[in-house]
Amino acid sequence: MVSEDRAKELFFSYYGNEFFMWKDGDLDEYKSYNISKCQELHWRGELIDKLCSELEVKHSSSLNGLILIINYFGEYDLLEKVLYFISDNYGEADSFLKLRYAEELFDIIEKSKFHEHAPEYTLLETKKFIIVIINDILSNKIKISAESEKILEFNRDMPNETYLVVRTQDLLKKIEFYDI
C-alpha cells in the first residue's frame, strides 16, 4: 500500500504527466509501481475534482493544473469548466492575470491540433473569449496588483504597464491569424 500511495503522490504532483516525471527523473520510480491505466483514470478523476475544488483567482496553481491536464490528456470537457471559472471570476483579476488567462487559453488552442477529438465549437468559443479579454486589457487602464508586481519584477527593459500592453498586442496578432 505504501508503494501505491507513493505512486499516487507522484501522479498528483506531476498532474499525471509522464513527460514531466521523466524530465525530473521520477518516471522510472513511477513505472516501477506498475499502476494500471484504469487506476490512473480513477486518479485523474480524483485529481480533477481536487483541482476544481481548489480554484482561486489569485492563486493559479489549480487552474494551471487543469490546463496541463487538458493539454496533455486532451480532456476538453474541462475546457468549459475553465472558461466558466475565468468568466465568473474575471472581474477580480488584474490586467496581468487577465493576460495570463488569455495566454493559457491560447496555449490550449495551439495544442489542440495534437488531439483529434478537440471540439471545434468549444475552441472557437475559447478564441472569441480570448479576444474579449485582449480588448478589455487594451481598452481599459492597466491595473497590476502587488502579487503581479512581484512576478513582473524580472522585466527591467520597460515599465510593467508598457510590457503588458506589448505582450497583449503580440497575443492579439497571434490569435487573429490562428485558424481553428
pTM of the model: 0.87
DSSP H helices in 34-93? 37-53, 61-73, 77-89
Q: How confident is the model at residue 154 (pLDDT cuts 50, 70, 90)?
A: confident
Grid cell listed for 68: 496541463
DSSP H helices in 140-159? 146-152
Grid cell listed for 35: 499502476
Rounded distance, CA 165 to CA 175, Å?
15
Nearest CA-CA partner of 107 in 62, 63, 163: 63
Domain ranges of the chain: 79-180
Query: Which position has the higher pLDDT, 156 or 166?
Result: 166
Grid cell listed for 19: 513527460
Whose grid coordinates read 499525471? 16
Q: pLDDT of 35-93, one tens digit each?
A: 999 999 999 999 999 999 999 877 788 999 999 999 999 999 999 999 999 999 988 89
